[in-house]
Structure 1
């Protein structure tokens, strides 16, 4: 029986990933460099896999810091003006009305996630947040999802993970969860684990999610 939905945050609820990639790609172009999407995708949903600043190792540290500050300020300005992904609010409202419990499992830190949840007035929907600050290993390790389940007091069979990335979906599958991938523009071309289900967006709400799960259960 489905009792809870456990959401990833970046790229899933709030698409920070697409504008971040586009900002870095523009920065690379300014310096005659090429940022490949496939390289960027390796680092989505985790940490320490891809360093976008390695390409600027030839610059003096003061210049790299100037570029970092400019790039960060540009990204934050864009995010401040952006909304959550289409259909997310409606899905959260419908899930809450249906009595489903909601949680977040994210490789991002707590301050980052809480900042944007509060900015978009979404914090009250979520019973618990499992973040980078709470674990030793982030995704694709299953520790974050296992922690979220433990805090909810639920078995993996009673929850579904909502993800957008390969690293996130691997973490969910390794935790024994059913996983629905809802990719964004920078993760759409990824090859996800065969165990995952896929929706192209949140616009169908809880009804579309339940229909997908029911269809899978009949296979």
Structure 2
């Protein structure tokens, strides 16, 4: 029997945002490279993938300062990253991952309650929902501004379930990174993992099940 995360008891699907619904990691990597250049730091894509993908900006700044012994404060690095993301989002939303819009609409049509639970900013989610006409399908959003401890802490998923009034046993999380997976598992959620090129080397062994794309998961477990 093929293992599945979505069962007859599942009523609610909790989607990660960066790397799961939007193809943003390449942009985040580019922006961090721009920030670090004046400090003489060259950030390799492999280090970004291993240490930073799927991690909130605040922790990214701490990790970068410690790893490279950067003279700037972590707060200065964090603020500059937020400013660069805001400037990017003023021009356009992040591009969607392949089949993201189709997945959201199909899951909604099947009667599932949908939420977005992200370690990223609420602004980024808002731009996605408005830019691609997806707002009507999403019942709630939990972003980094809404919690004290973001992923990999379980607080963001716990808050989403509290806002929706559902138990973990009725929910499935959809993630792409080790840190997001750790957050979901700590919140006692079953978790589908759909790794990207940036997170393919992450330890994803705690996942309930893994798929190569949103479309593969949708066709295997939802439709």
The TM-score bracket by the shorter chain reads 0.7 to 0.9
Alignment of 1:44 onto 2:53: yes
Note the 1:133-152 alignment, pairs <5 A. Answer: 133-152=145-164
- Deviation per CA, 1:153-183: give whole Å up to 9, x if none: 1111111100111111100001111101112
Return closer, same or farther for 1:134/1:50 CA change in 2, 3 Å cut-off.
closer
Structure-2 residue corresponding to 1:217? none
TM-score (norm 2): 0.76
> Where does structure 1 lack aligned partners over 5 or more consecutive residues?
212-219
- The counterpart of 1:115, out of the listed 112, 127, 130, is 127
Q: TM-score, normalised by structure 1?
A: 0.78
Residue 177, structure 1, aligned to residue 189, structure 2: yes
CA–CA separation in structure 1 for the residues paired with 2:34 and 2:150: 28
- Residues paired across the two proteins, number: 204
Give, in whole Å, the separation in 2 of the partners of 1:154 and 1:81.
Answer: 30
Say whether the 8 Å CA contact 1:2–1:158 is kept in structure 2: yes
Task: Quickly say closer, same or farther: Cα 1:32–1:134, change in 2 above 3 A.
Answer: closer
Instruction: Look up the match of 1:168.
Output: 180
Equivalent residue in structure 2 for 1:35, among 32, 43, 60: 43
TM-superposed CA distance for 1:8, in Å, is 0.7
Structure with bigger gyration radius? 1
**1:9 Cα offset (Å):** 0.8
Q: Which residue of 1 aligns with 2:6?
A: none
Partners of 1:58 and 1:151 lie apart in 2 by: 41
Summarize the Cα distance change of 1:118–1:58 in structure 2 as closer, same or farther, 3 Å threshold. Answer: same
**Would the aligned equivalents of 1:90 and 1:205 in 2 still touch at CA under 8 Å?**
no
Q: Mind listing any 5+ residue stretches in structure 2 that lack a counterpart?
A: 1-8
The aligned residue for residue 20 of structure 1 is: 28
In the TM superposition, what is the alpha-carbon distance from 1:26 to its structure 2 partner?
A: 7.1
| Whole-angstrom CA distance in 2 between matches of 1:53 and 1:194 | 27
